[in-house]
Amino acid sequence: MSAIDELIRAEVQAAVKAAIAELRPSLLTVEEYAAHWKISESTIRHAIAQGRLEVTRNGRSIRIAADAAIARRPRDRRERTRLALLRGGNAR
């Protein structure tokens, strides 16, 4: 291969790696997610416990997609019941 071919190959590989990294959302810890969105860690942990924020668990480790949004809380009992039934749970 000539030197020009090697330069072109290196540039293309770097561009492909950058494009893949941009498409794949980075996973953040609870602390990093809190700092990124400027909210408290306890708010995030409550949202996770309530099922309003999707996470990836690996053992005890919790990772959150950087672009994940916290779903809003149901406003009243009727809305909570409807959401529980949609999820297949009990409507107490």
Is 19 part of any domain?
A: no
pTM strictly above 0.85: no
**Running along the chain, 92 residues long, what does each successive block of 10 average in pLDDT?**
87 87 80 92 92 90 90 73 71 55
pLDDT of residue 85: 74
Domain count, the chain: 1
With respect to residue 62, please indicate whether it lies within any of the assigned structural domains. Answer: yes
Residue 18 lies in a domain: no
Considering the domain boundaries, does residue 20 fall inside one? Answer: no
Residue 2 lies inside a defined structural domain of this protein: no
Predicted pLDDT at 1 = 66
Give the per-residue SS3 of 33-55. Answer: HHHHHCCCHHHHHHHHHCCCCCC
CATH of the domain at 72: 1.10.1660
Within a domain: residue 39?
yes
Domain that holds residue 62: 26-86
